[in-house]
Structure 1
Amino acid sequence: MPRLGRGHPRAVILFALVAGAALAASGPDAGTETPPALAACKARFGEAPQGSESAMCFYRNAQGASGRDAARRLLTELLEHHREHPWLLMVLGHVEQLSEPRAAEASYRRSALEFRRLQDAEGEVLAAINLRIILMNQKRIDEAREWTRRIAEVARASGSPELNARALIVEANELAEVELDLGRAFRLLKRAEALVFPDGTDGLKKQCLSSLAVVSTNLGRLEEAADVYQRLVELAQRTREAPLEARVRVSQANLAVTLHERRPEPGGRARLLALAREALAASELAGSKSMEAMSLRIVADLLGPSPEERLEAEQHLRRCLTLADELGKPERRIACLWTRAERFAASAPEAADRDAEEALRLAYAYADPQYLALALRARATVAFHTKPLPDALHHAERALDAVESLRSLQRDASSQAELFASWASDYHRLAGWTLEAGGVTGKAATLAPREALERTFQVSERLRARSLLDTLVASQALSTSGEEPGRRAARAELQRRLVAVQRRLLESTLGAPEREAALNELRELERNERDLRPAPRHGTTEFATLEAVEKGLAPDEAMLAFLVGVDRDIYGDPAGSAWLLVVTREGSRAHRIPERTRLTPAVALFSGLLERRDGSEVGAAVALHAQLLGPALAALPPGVRRLLLVPDGPLHDLPFAVLRERPDAPPLVARYELAVVPSASLWRYWREQPALSPGGEALVLADPERGTASPVKRAPASERAGVFDEAAQLAALPEARREGHAVERLLQDTKVAPRLLVGLEASERALKSARLDGVRVLHLAAHAIVDAEAPERSALVLAPGAEEEDGILQPREIAELHLEGAMVVLSSCQSASGAMLPGEGVLSLARAFFEAGSRAVVASLWPLRDDEAARLVERFYRHLARGVSASAALRAAQLEAIEDGQPPAAWAGLVVLGDASLVALEPRARTGAGGIQVALGALAVLSALVAAAVWFRRARP
């Protein structure tokens, strides 16, 4: 999790915002009217004792100390004559809450029970919400849970959208605060948002947005959180609520720090400091000590190293600790302490150590996984400056243990991945520190070099593709085996409704209002579907060790694992830098590479140059080769012929095959077979699977048609691309159809039986109903939709094939196909691309096929031209059918494309993902031919290699 100003605990914001919004729950837009005098409130109550408004008058005039005492006295007097008046009881609780929260418990409880007797759903829900907050603040969790259940039960029975929204917010807060299940909390809050906007009260909007902003931040949905906070600021300004605006300004400053750490910009620290000062000014104006403490801490953290700024920071942190003690909030004190420890670790090491230890002790007592992880991170940072490096490594490793405990509390795999992504920089930092301890950076070693490499490799593996690894090890993450029949039936019904909505969205005649309504319904169904999925089943995950990978690699293989961090964080502390770990059977090494802030624009520029198809990318290819691979490849054993690439960050989008040593040298693919693997642990998992049995089937779906039995004529498309709203109108892919026939023909000479489905037969229903356990190769030549904002809506576009299908084959459906190690070839645009989640990797269509059980997926990094894709894929199958591995077949096909003079954009986008050594096809020996067929296959691959060698020789100076 990135620091929120040196690791500000996001949970602090959650408690502040929810507690601040709590009293607003007791009536529509409390505090928006000009309050009359308390005497007038009493007279008003005498005239109209029923209902809430006359009772709420007392609370509105009880904000100052004198008014509070008078209001309490008047309410007590009135209750002598109206002993069971539920609104008077609840308002008395409000007034007591201002100064004596424990006394308010009895008033709220009596109020809730009286409302229940009167069958007043609104009153009972409002009283119960406030009672629950008191119980939560007193850590009486079980009692609070019972009231949460009661609130939900009453609200749903009432049928009131407003009460249902309030209940959803309460349930979401409990999930986020107690169970730390952020994914489910987020989905509940999105449902509440749909009920609250646009017609809900301002008070309810504030509660919903406050909780939604914090949960979004904690879940790593930073852009969404920024948008919600801006909506909150506008609402606070419109309703003139200074305390709320102060809370939001503080939250925005923290979020800005997090966003800057993910995407650093020049001059960012000065901009962040200005935002923090604005938050401090707003907090002081609102008179909020809690927000003042938080903003003081952020300002102190962002101040520079000059003597004047150091003095200002010291004063701010002293005031921060004083306010924390006055408020009696241990979480505020923890944050102030670790900020002061980190801020002055270099200049006052002994004091910094004491502060860091006290913060850690308090965090253990506070028993919140987020606080503990953040306190351990701070302890590691201080130890880096004050202790021997192994001490810092120890605390940093403990912080990662706490992070993974927090991850395990999430109830669905996507939420685990989203939360985990927020902590990726901590893994980069620990990896870099560990290599430094091993003397790799040239400093004196405090760890044996080999031990440093082994520990760094373990950190690298703990970071990568964890959700995918868990899924495969458990083998049942999304399966229905062992699932309760009721839940299974509910999921089936939801899938039916999803299909119906998506079929409507695919209608080109759908009007804008109907489309918006359908999209809203789709979002709700998607949230419900995710809630009904079985919780991830974690098998015993044993990460691959460096020694095991070295032993498992073939003599001609090398694994290149990248860790792309930054050199220094926003505070100037060492952040781990960027590294390449090179692993071979003969041993391992580490090489420094450029940091992420340099590689990200370089890779984007390189991709843009490739699209021009004019050779202008050569200079960038040489530069990236030198920066990323030069020293590593020069030190490889001479027999290495295959590179297993484990990318990180921007390198997921890099076509390594195009990189070259010199402008006149051949591209990297001329020297090596290439494959991309998500992690060494996944590579080992796939390698340990038994070899595919000969025979079986090859299922080929090509150029699906989405029409009826009398298809309309479609114009040819130049690229295999598409967007969701236009999926129904995607153009034909005639080359894909010819490609399908070519693949069928080439497979005739193998031991698998090809089955070709084209046009209307290339359907979603046909794929889902096929016996896939016997399929050795699954080939899909079709349009693809890649939605980077909503990865689970990405899809392969097929013919529906049945009324219960929509032809939009999405990741949740792909993951249930139950492939048995088959190779999947996705001859579709961008099927290897998608949203990039730090640590987890690319959330692509290809990844979903791994969840389904594939061991190797051939997919594309960018849009494919239909004719070029068909030629390249045909070449690939010609070599694959001769019994060679996936990476060898693709390399041979790409070398032929190079020999034909095609630009890299035509051949470099296709990549092998997963097990590069997988041999999916075995040639059929013809009668009387003996072993000639195998020899011919070897000769064909050899001829491609000879061609590459000739070109390489010609290109030499």
Structure 2
Amino acid sequence: MSGRGWRQRLVCLGWLFLGGLIPHGLAVAAEAPEVSALARCEEGFVAHPEGSETAMCFFREAQAPARREEARRRLRGLLASYPDRPWLMLVLGHLEMLSEPRLAEASYRSAALAFRRLEDAEGEVMAGINLRNVLGVLGRTEEAHTWVQRVGEVARASGNAQLQVRALILEAAELSDLGQDLGRAYRLLKRAEALAFPGGSDGVKKQLLTPLASVSANLGRFDEALDAYARLAELARSTHDVGTEARVRFAFANLALRRGEERPELGGRPELLRLAREALAAAKNAGSKAFEAQSLRLVAELLGDSPEERSEAEGHLERCLDLARDAGLPERRIACLWTRAERLAGVDAAAAERDADAALALAAEHDNPRYLASAWRARSMVAFRTKPLPEALRQAERALDAVEVLRQLQKDASSQAELFSGWANDYHRLAGRTLEAGETSALPSREALERAFAVSERLRARTLFEALVASRALVSAEDTPERQESRAGVLRDLSATQRRLLEKELSASERTRLLGELQELERREHELRPTPRHAEVRFASLAQTERGLGPGEALLVFLVGAVQDLQGVPAGGAWVLAVTREGTRAYRLPERARLRPAVALLSGLIERRDGSEAGAATALYAQLLAPALRELPPGVSRLLFVPDGPLHDLAFAALRERADGPPLIARYELALVPSASLLHHWRQRAVRPPGGEALVLADPDRGAAATAVASARGGVFGEMANLGSLPEARREGHTVEDSLEDTVVRPRLLVGAAASEQALKASRLEDVRILHVAAHAVVDVDAPERSALVLAPGAEQEDGLLQPREITGLGLGDALVVLSSCQGASGTLLAGEGVLSLARAFFEARARAVVASLWPLRDAEAAWLLERYYRHLASGQGVSQALRSAQREAWEDGQPAAAWAGLGVMGDAALVPVPSNEAKAARPGGTALGLMLGGGALGLYALTGWWRRARKGPRADTTRGAG
């Protein structure tokens, strides 16, 4: 198979393979209109020339390509008789855009200027939008931007909601087309969606749903992309719109291809090829050159290497290039060039390199970061087939530099992470191929390790690392006092709206209205957030990481990629780097597709609580750890894991060398770290003096809402009004208080109404060493920023929901965060970045470690484990040492793995929050702040959420939280 496999990650939408997107009733072919239909359009216009409807008749009747020349002839004739009717010129531009986009520029420009003279806001907006789109296709971005601004001004001045929708779509489209700030583009489109549905016209809805699906998919929001395209497909069916059908069918095929890339399946390519051919047929039927070019390229990429398929692919790519050239579509031409280059790489190296260089030159000519990232990646893929491996690796590194430029154009951390996740496979490929070069002596082994490690660090938890580094920088000049006050006002409005949503008696219509209001407030709050000045980010090098580890520590860095991509091209494979002070070694692992079900199987067997997980735990130990652990230096007692992909969900503590042998925690302390650079960052922090306060919040009283004793600590946003009190949580608070009473950390217990959001925010958190919160929590996987710790309000302006946007501003320092919840692994997992959830906010608030569980713990078992954990912590043990001690005691006591293996440490395992009397003056870790969110507080392990059950007593069948 040739060296192809590139997907236009921003140009061509990424989709999950899901059946049923295209309804069975969606037409594949449209009947050609009668010859007299266009004549009737002309007659209708002559009878009523003043409006847009009769002019649009020509566009509707000329959807079939065979009718377009006649339609253009009749329109030109009418324009000669009615030169003051710009709707005719606009519709002429529409028809030209279908076949020859370059010709449409003059028509749209003339129409826009004529509408301006007539002070026709609707017409100018329509013409301006289309003119901007043509200019964008032609690469004239500055001129296109002036029309984006003009359309926005006209739409806002008109007061017409539908025109404002169109202007918002246009602004978002500009950001998306250039790969800039996709997060803002998404928020603009969601704002437009609230205006367009349900009362907007079909045309407005179609125009909105297409970019909404595109941006959602490019940000990894596949469920939302699917929903948008499903609605678009239904509109296409109901309006017999063959052009929209072509768009949907292409997106569906491309989504299936994206799904196939992430999880390749044997025999999957023929089905993808079938979908691509259907998209090509729909594009031809619609007469859309743009979608025909895209579909031709997609079919060519999926064709095999037999003589017949090679010949077909060559013909498709020639046609693709001709269409792109004739229609003035540089983006399509670039894509066709790199696809041909990748197909030729295995048979004609010189021709492949010419095409790859031409694609790169064309991308550079248009100075579009999105084009450049895509073209550089294609150039590197060709180099892997045509150049010596060291040269190919250098080109692949250059391709990642282009991706970094695209990433930096995103203005907020969430859109950076979401966009970046779509390129994770490229980092896996480069790191894996670099390690292979070290195995084959194409590179010196040490150099290969250093370069692969550097690629890994560029991928890992980037937005979190950059946020922590940037927190030391000054805020930007745009963060004025006026802007700060505006944000504070929006936050007050958010709290008020959420207080209303927490009311028990709320009608469905009122809830819907309030949720819409909440969405708009969230968008405004996001826009008003302070933007830190970009600080220089320096990733930890391999040598730096080796020197920074303790003599008893080993860092195991996982890179869980695929062995081959969908087309059979080497994709880097899966590896683990074992890093110690004495050096680093690399070991091969099973690929991602094999590890994912194995991890899920282990979790399921542990849940059975009958010991049946022993075999699965032994198998994963052998696959992931055995070779590396056998060759670790003597004296290593702490393992620090940098997880990747499915390993974020793995209970490492349960792994064992033999089915009848002890678990891993019998031999080692364990912890997870998001990246080596973050570990280095935490350990470079200044030492704080010992002493301080332990603030304990337990069983918050929400007043009228707490009308019953809750059996679970959890729920979803709409159910929070029904959460009851947690009297058993008070005992948990007293346990923390008693354990710390004789230490240098002074406990302070707040319960009931005193355990409030206001009290927490008003506390001097810089003096707090331990914060323990025993309360309800909620996790919203679809909208992580609505996840919250549920406290008492404590003040009229508070809603009692401590959410990420508030947690990040708490001003913690070197914090140990121990969180608990009943929902295992909550949050959105983004490749490279990890799982996004509440723990992320605590790290941004300068937490230094997080302790939490992967699954619900039974109440008696959790109490047993936590009491011992606190006992060891209070004696001066570090966070991972204390947990290992407690877990080992649980295992020795005969408790099942489900009772202790899910609990783990994330962050700096060496942190000692409560120094012993002997070591408190000397132990560096003992001076750090500890943050303990226990009991029913929301916890996240590996950036995830989990629930603990409310304490019901010693019964083993009672669990903590709503499981």
Matches for 1:469-618 after TM superposition, within 5 Å:
469-475=465-471, 483-535=479-531, 537-618=533-614
Deviation at 1:553, TM superposition (A): 0.6
Q: Aligned match of 1:865 in 849, 858, 861?
A: 858
Distance in 2, matches of 1:481 and 1:91, equals 46
- Cα–Cα, structure 1 residues 245 and 39, in superposed 2: closer, same or farther, change >3 Å? closer
Q: 2:181, 2:411 within 8 Å by CA — same for their partners in 1?
A: yes
Counterpart for residue 111 of structure 1: 114
| Cα-to-partner distance string for 1:247-282 (whole Å, 9 max, x where unaligned) | 221122112111222233443222211111111221
Counterpart for residue 191 of structure 1: 191
Distance in 2, matches of 1:230 and 1:55, equals 30
- Cα–Cα, structure 1 residues 883 and 139, in superposed 2: closer, same or farther, change >3 Å? same
| Cα-to-partner distance string for 1:369-416 (whole Å, 9 max, x where unaligned) | 222222222222222122211121111111111111001001111000
Counterpart for residue 311 of structure 1: 311
Distance in 2, matches of 1:543 and 1:201, equals 51
Counterpart for residue 884 of structure 1: 877
1:699 alignment partner, SS class: strand
Distance in 2, matches of 1:316 and 1:38, equals 33
Matches for 1:158-307 after TM superposition, within 5 Å:
158-178=158-178, 180-307=180-307
Q: 1:5, 1:298 within 8 Å by CA — same for their partners in 2?
A: no
- Cα–Cα, structure 1 residues 517 and 263, in superposed 2: closer, same or farther, change >3 Å? farther
Counterpart for residue 761 of structure 2: 768
- Cα–Cα, structure 1 residues 910 and 639, in superposed 2: closer, same or farther, change >3 Å? same
2:400 alignment partner, SS class: helix
| Cα-to-partner distance string for 1:51-96 (whole Å, 9 max, x where unaligned) | 33345456667762244134223213322xx5xx554665566577
Distance in 1, matches of 2:562 and 2:12, equals 28
Counterpart for residue 897 of structure 1: 890
Counterpart for residue 812 of structure 1: 805
**Could you state the TM-score of these two structures normalised by the residue count of structure 2?**
0.88
Q: 1:776, 1:920 within 8 Å by CA — same for their partners in 2?
A: yes
Please tell me the residue identity of whatever aligns with 2:833: E
Please tell me the residue identity of whatever aligns with 2:104: P
Counterpart for residue 416 of structure 1: 416
Q: 1:706, 1:728 within 8 Å by CA — same for their partners in 2?
A: no
Distance in 2, matches of 1:712 and 1:226, equals 39
Counterpart for residue 736 of structure 2: 743
Q: 1:209, 1:232 within 8 Å by CA — same for their partners in 2?
A: yes
Distance in 2, matches of 1:735 and 1:631, equals 46
Deviation at 1:632, TM superposition (A): 0.7
Q: 1:301, 1:339 within 8 Å by CA — same for their partners in 2?
A: yes
Q: 1:785, 1:795 within 8 Å by CA — same for their partners in 2?
A: yes
- Cα–Cα, structure 1 residues 47 and 743, in superposed 2: closer, same or farther, change >3 Å? same
1:644 alignment partner, SS class: strand
Q: 1:781, 1:828 within 8 Å by CA — same for their partners in 2?
A: no
Q: Aligned match of 2:73 in 44, 69, 72?
A: 69
Counterpart for residue 845 of structure 1: 838
Counterpart for residue 28 of structure 2: none
Deviation at 1:540, TM superposition (A): 0.8
Distance in 1, matches of 2:720 and 2:82, equals 67
Distance in 1, matches of 2:590 and 2:672, equals 20
Q: 1:412, 1:536 within 8 Å by CA — same for their partners in 2?
A: no
Is 1:665 the counterpart of 2:661? The answer is yes
Q: 2:108, 2:128 within 8 Å by CA — same for their partners in 1?
A: no
Please tell me the residue identity of whatever aligns with 1:826: L
Please tell me the residue identity of whatever aligns with 2:366: Y
Distance in 1, matches of 2:713 and 2:396, equals 46
Counterpart for residue 357 of structure 2: 357
1:282 alignment partner, SS class: helix
**Structure 1, 450-459 or 35-44: larger mean CA deviation:** 35-44
Distance in 2, matches of 1:806 and 1:346, equals 63
Counterpart for residue 823 of structure 1: 816
Matches for 1:707-746 after TM superposition, within 5 Å:
707-708=703-704, 712=706, 714-715=708-709, 717=711, 720-746=713-739
1:591 alignment partner, SS class: strand
- Cα–Cα, structure 1 residues 634 and 104, in superposed 2: closer, same or farther, change >3 Å? same
Distance in 2, matches of 1:105 and 1:90, equals 6
Distance in 1, matches of 2:7 and 2:151, equals 35
Distance in 1, matches of 2:508 and 2:802, equals 25
Matches for 1:429-440 after TM superposition, within 5 Å:
429-439=429-439
Matched positions, count: 896
| Cα-to-partner distance string for 1:878-914 (whole Å, 9 max, x where unaligned) | 1111222111111111122222222221122221111
- Cα–Cα, structure 1 residues 147 and 383, in superposed 2: closer, same or farther, change >3 Å? closer
Deviation at 1:4, TM superposition (A): 11
- Cα–Cα, structure 1 residues 716 and 613, in superposed 2: closer, same or farther, change >3 Å? farther
Q: 1:784, 1:830 within 8 Å by CA — same for their partners in 2?
A: no
**Structure 1, 621-630 or 536-545: larger mean CA deviation:** 536-545
**Could you state the TM-score of these two structures normalised by the residue count of structure 1?**
0.89
Counterpart for residue 383 of structure 2: 383
**Structure 1, 340-349 or 410-419: larger mean CA deviation:** 340-349
1:921 alignment partner, SS class: coil
Deviation at 1:108, TM superposition (A): 2.4
- Compute the RMSD of aligned alpha carbons: 2.8
Counterpart for residue 127 of structure 2: 127
Counterpart for residue 688 of structure 2: 692
| Cα-to-partner distance string for 1:34-57 (whole Å, 9 max, x where unaligned) | 997777666655654533334545
Distance in 1, matches of 2:105 and 2:171, equals 23
| Cα-to-partner distance string for 1:856-879 (whole Å, 9 max, x where unaligned) | 122222223333323222211111
Distance in 1, matches of 2:810 and 2:348, equals 60
Distance in 2, matches of 1:769 and 1:356, equals 60
- Cα–Cα, structure 1 residues 237 and 484, in superposed 2: closer, same or farther, change >3 Å? same
Distance in 2, matches of 1:38 and 1:271, equals 40
Distance in 1, matches of 2:12 and 2:909, equals 47
Distance in 2, matches of 1:894 and 1:211, equals 50
**Structure 1, 181-190 or 866-875: larger mean CA deviation:** 866-875
Distance in 2, matches of 1:834 and 1:763, equals 25
Runs of 5+ unmatched residues, structure 1: 15-30, 935-957
**Structure 1, 898-907 or 411-420: larger mean CA deviation:** 898-907
Q: 2:13, 2:217 within 8 Å by CA — same for their partners in 1?
A: no
Matches for 1:131-170 after TM superposition, within 5 Å:
131-170=131-170
Q: 2:139, 2:366 within 8 Å by CA — same for their partners in 1?
A: no
Please tell me the residue identity of whatever aligns with 1:110: L
Distance in 1, matches of 2:194 and 2:207, equals 13
**Structure 1, 70-79 or 692-701: larger mean CA deviation:** 70-79
Please tell me the residue identity of whatever aligns with 1:65: E
- Cα–Cα, structure 1 residues 563 and 862, in superposed 2: closer, same or farther, change >3 Å? same
Runs of 5+ unmatched residues, structure 2: 15-30, 927-963
| Cα-to-partner distance string for 1:170-203 (whole Å, 9 max, x where unaligned) | 1111222246221111111111122222221111
Please tell me the residue identity of whatever aligns with 1:784: A
Higher relative contact order (CA 8 A, sep 6+): 2
- Cα–Cα, structure 1 residues 481 and 892, in superposed 2: closer, same or farther, change >3 Å? farther
Q: Aligned match of 1:701 in 697, 703, 707?
A: 697
Distance in 2, matches of 1:140 and 1:354, equals 26
Distance in 2, matches of 1:281 and 1:413, equals 40
Deviation at 1:32, TM superposition (A): 14
Q: 1:720, 1:864 within 8 Å by CA — same for their partners in 2?
A: no
Distance in 1, matches of 2:557 and 2:728, equals 37
Deviation at 1:640, TM superposition (A): 0.4
Please tell me the residue identity of whatever aligns with 1:688: Q
- Cα–Cα, structure 1 residues 429 and 137, in superposed 2: closer, same or farther, change >3 Å? closer
Distance in 2, matches of 1:581 and 1:184, equals 37
Please tell me the residue identity of whatever aligns with 1:741: H
Deviation at 1:485, TM superposition (A): 1.9
2:750 alignment partner, SS class: strand
